Structure 1
Amino acid sequence: MSSDYDRLFYPPADQGMPTDDATVIRPRDLGQSQQRGFPTQAAPEAGAAPQESVQCDEIPPERPIGEEHEAAANHGPTLNPEPLPLPPESAPQWPQNFGQAHQQLGHGGRHERPASTARPDQWSSTAPPPAAAQWPAAAPTPGTHQWPTAGQVVPQGGGIGAVSAGPRWETGESSVGPGSPPQGQPGQATGPGRAIDGLSEVGIKAGVKAPPQRGWRHWLYASTRINLGPSPDEIYESELNGRIRRNARDFYQIGILGLKGGAGKTAVTVALGSAMAKVRGDRILAIDADPDAGNLADRVGRQSAATIADLLANPELSSYNDIRGYTSMNRANLEALPSADYTRAGHEFDDKDWTGTTAVVSRYYNLVLADTGTGLLQKSARAVLSTVSGAVIVASASIDGARQAAITMDWLGQNGYQKLLGRSCVVINHITPGKPNVDIEDLVQQFERHVPAGRVIVLPYDKHIATGAEIQFDLLSKKYRRRITELAAALSDDFGIP
């Protein structure tokens, strides 16, 4: 056995084999070559031509352990390389468990191994080691390797030292990293507007139900504390009140119109103003703009004998309290400013009175209701139409009253008040008990062709109003109050429209 080993690896010198260190393979050299990953070659047979030494400039790829012995048997003698120099200090310090970390990344990641599989201890003396990776961040400290930070991309196939300028990590599933901007242009928001503005569209669920205020739900809650929440009718009323509370722009004026006397314009003015004042809680003033000396102050509840003429005669009005001495207020906090009656009036109410009055009260009141007369060609009516932003056309529940309301709408549309007609409401008022001589449903459909939908209101007959005395809103019937509230809500929808 030992003789065969010597003949195989130590042939005699007379067989033409060179005996220098460059071609002779010793057992210790074979072990070192296998440890460093170099393939070995078998010795040539006897009588074969001597082989020249081969300089290995390229690093062979790694092979499985099982294939190293087979390669040693199929190749010629292995060269004995010179001792390798130590890698420079600027070379990257590879982690010992880099291969395990690469296997943990899986196929979805773009963080690949370098193209060369040679280890630092396998670099040849002629091929320079790879340069240290340069990252777009701050300059690295000499002797250390800077790994990619969050937001940097390591492209596939470019090696561990190639870093893209993209501000994100890329994987097979997602390309958004921590702290990176949304998809789209870098550093810019993808959605329009501010984020805080979008919160106004987010629905909020109330943690506690509001207790019911009336009906059997209220009695159940009062006796057993079982809260079923407000009834559908209470919810609808709450929505109406929310519409009435809308902020009115500047000094908002509403005119109450009608060509026929006795249709109930003054009663509608008082009921409408009381409903708004009760819900809104701000200052609302009703002005008697009837040149025939109406009875607005009597239906509100007269508290002062002063009139519009007295107000305009005082040039020293400088506060709300100064004007409050000329008005009357009911229990719903609606104020009324009457015109002079026939016994004291020096002239009828005209355009100058309306312009002067609104100029004074506009600084102290949010809403003003104008109770006009029975004509549209009068100076006072023309002055009111030139300044109001909304209108209420009152008609009695009769065929005669319906004709007068239709004439009023046609006149507004033909005399330059089309915009005002689009903000108007029509009130069909039952001033007498019993069934009227006209089909109310057909009448509503006819009027809705000329005004927006939902702006034709039918008021029922009310005994409290029929007495002709002071109108108290709480004494009106439930149905009448609901219809007046719907009228106020419809008019309030135009508060924010210039």
Structure 2
Amino acid sequence: MPVAGNPPQTQTAAAPPTATPSAGQNETTTQMPIARPPLAGQTSPPPANGLLRQPQQTGQTGARFEPPRQAPAPAPRPAPAPPPSAHFAEVSQEIETPWAGQLAPTSAATIGNHRAIDALSHVGVKTAVKMPSQRGWRHWLYVLTRINLGLSPDELYEMELHTRIRRNARDSYQIGIFGLKGGVGKTAITVALGSVLSRVRGDRILAIDADPDGGNLADRAGRQSAATVADLLADKELSRYNDIRAYTSMNSANLEVLSSEDYSTARRAFNDEDWKNATSIVSRYYNLVLADCGAGLFHPAARGVLATVSGLVIVASASIDGARQAAVTMDWLRQNGYQDLLGRSCVVINHVVPGKPNIDVEDLVQQFERHVPPGRVIVLPYDKHIAAGTEIQLDLLSRKFQRRITELAAALSDDFDRLERR
């Protein structure tokens, strides 16, 4: 604006500044809008608010005033692949750092809601103390010199068998002992097998005499009660275990036995309805139920047992006649809809008489192993205590007989957690 008393002057183009403006001089600026990101739903940025100021470009243009050109930067070389440890570190960092819009961070410790304390149950822990041997020369060496060499291979194998026998049996697991010929030792095997299961497992095991022709299961196990399965079925006030215990006998291995009705006074034979009613009562109080069956498969009692059991023991004597009867039993099961039960069966070749049999037992084992899973053909030696026909006590059986019965119990226990049970 012209000042009074001075003639107006014409404004000319100013030369480019050659020096830095001193203090008090204001730099000529223009207002520039602030670039803001568009809000949700907008497609263009909002208008400028006029708060940002930017210096004016007052310099001259031309070849003399162009800034020197810079040489183009060389193309970047690809970075070398990171080592495996760095790759996993990056992956773990990506897992721990969520992207925008994702949920809370996820780490390996929280995937699947697994607790860290649960993983410790699978960690092997070595003990500094060895368990001393209880038999053999290792035991006597420990007794005399206190040199502990640990358990023998035979003792370790026995511990493995006991571990298999202690498997948890869901519901009430039922096992039937069958044989088409009498005198092959079904009752003795039932008592010995139940005694081993009861002693090793420590839970309630019950053996039921399901022979419709009048079995002697209670006599071989040690009769303590004159009550029979007919008396149990006639009682309508059974609500506790002690009510069931009043009708059973128990031997020294804590195996309980429910005897059949006296054949001389029985009005009818034990049938399938009796078996189903008895098992529906006792299955609430016993973990394992064994059935000592008769010599035939067409009896109603045998059909009732086959309809409910989850494991089977086929007993044959160590003779050509006994081998044929066992083979007929397996063929009958296969042809009458019990193929799945045959896959959970064990075959026992029992030496009921002393001396060498008239059949090649090793060849017989190989023939039977074609029809049952491996390790389920058990050969029982002749035992004087069983041949006496008296009450069977587990401690009086030979060590070899006890080991074979233990192997039979372990083979049957392998099916306790199978899903295709009946």
1:227 equivalent to 2:148? Answer yes
**Which digits, 9 at most, give the CA deviation of each residue in 1:331-387, with x for residues without a partner?**
000011011122221111111111111111111111000000000011000000000
Q: Secondary structure at the match of 1:474?
A: helix
1:188 aligns with 2:109: no
Change (3 A) 1:171 1:357: closer
Spell out the pairing of 1:408-487 with structure 2 (5 A cutoff): 408-487=329-408
In 2: Cα distance, 1:293 partner to 1:188 partner:
68
Cα separation, partners in 2 of 1:231 and 1:81, compared to 1, 3 Å: farther
Q: Distance in 2 between matches of 1:443 and 1:418?
A: 21
After superposition, the Cα gap between the structure-2 partners of 1:182 and 1:344, relative to the gap in structure 1 and judged at 3 Å, is farther
Q: Map 1:168-183; keep pairs closer than 5 Å.
A: 174=86, 181-182=92-93
Higher-Rg member (1/2): 1
In the alignment, is the contact (CA less than 8 A) between 1:181 and 1:188 conserved in 2?
A: no
How big is the alpha-carbon RMSD for the aligned residues of Structure 1 and Structure 2? Answer: 2.9
The amino acid of 1:320's aligned partner reads Y
Gaps of 5+ in 1: 1-51, 56-78, 86-125, 128-169
Of stretches 302-311 and 450-459 in structure 1, the one that deviates more from structure 2 is 302-311
2:59 maps to which residue? none
Residue 293 (structure 2) aligns with: 372
Superposed counterparts of 1:110-125, under 5 Å: none
Over 3 Å counting, the alpha-carbon distance change for 1:319 and 1:230 in structure 2 is: same
Counterpart check, 1:209 vs 2:130: yes
Which residue type is aligned with residue 308 of structure 1? V
Q: In the alignment, is residue 320 of structure 1 matched against residue 241 of structure 2?
A: yes
d(CA) in 2 for partners of 1:345, 1:493:
38
The code of the aligned residue for 1:210 comes to M
Q: For 1:426-458, what per-residue CA distance to the aligned partner results, in whole angstroms no more than 9, with x for missing partners?
A: 000000111101111110010000000000000
Where do 1:387-426 residues align within 5 Å? 387-426=308-347
| Corresponding residue number in structure 2 for 1:491 | 412
Runs of 5+ in structure 2 lacking a partner? Answer: 1-14, 26-54, 57-81, 98-104
TM-superposition CA deviations, 1:234-253 (whole Å, max 9, x none): 10000000000011010110
Instruction: Quote the Cα distance in structure 2 between the aligned partners of 1:282 and 1:334.
Output: 9
1:305 aligns with 2:226: yes
TM-score by length of 1: 0.64
Instruction: Give the AA of the match of 1:303.
Output: Q
Any idea what SS the aligned residue of 2:260 has? coil
Q: Distance in 2 between matches of 1:84 and 1:436?
A: 126
How far off its partner does 1:305 sit? 0.8
Q: State the distance in 2 between where 1:458 and 1:402 align.
A: 12
Maintained 8 Å contact 1:183/1:190? no
Q: CA deviation at 1:319?
A: 1.1
Cα distance, 1:199 vs structure 2: 3.4
Higher relative contact order (CA 8 A, sep 6+): 2
Q: Taking structure 1 as reference, are residues 461 and 174 closer, same or farther at Cα in structure 2, changes over 3 Å only?
A: same
Residue aligning to 1:330: 251
Structure 1 residue matching 2:263: 3-state secondary structure: coil
**What are the residue-to-residue correspondences of 1:4-19 with 2, within 5 Å?**
none
Instruction: Give 1:224 shift.
Output: 2.2
Provide the aligned length of Structure 1 versus Structure 2: 344
**Residue type of the alignment partner of 1:490:** A
Paired residue for 2:198? 277
Q: Label 1:173 to 1:317 Cα distance change in 2 as closer, same or farther (>3 A).
A: closer
1:249 partnered with 2:170: yes
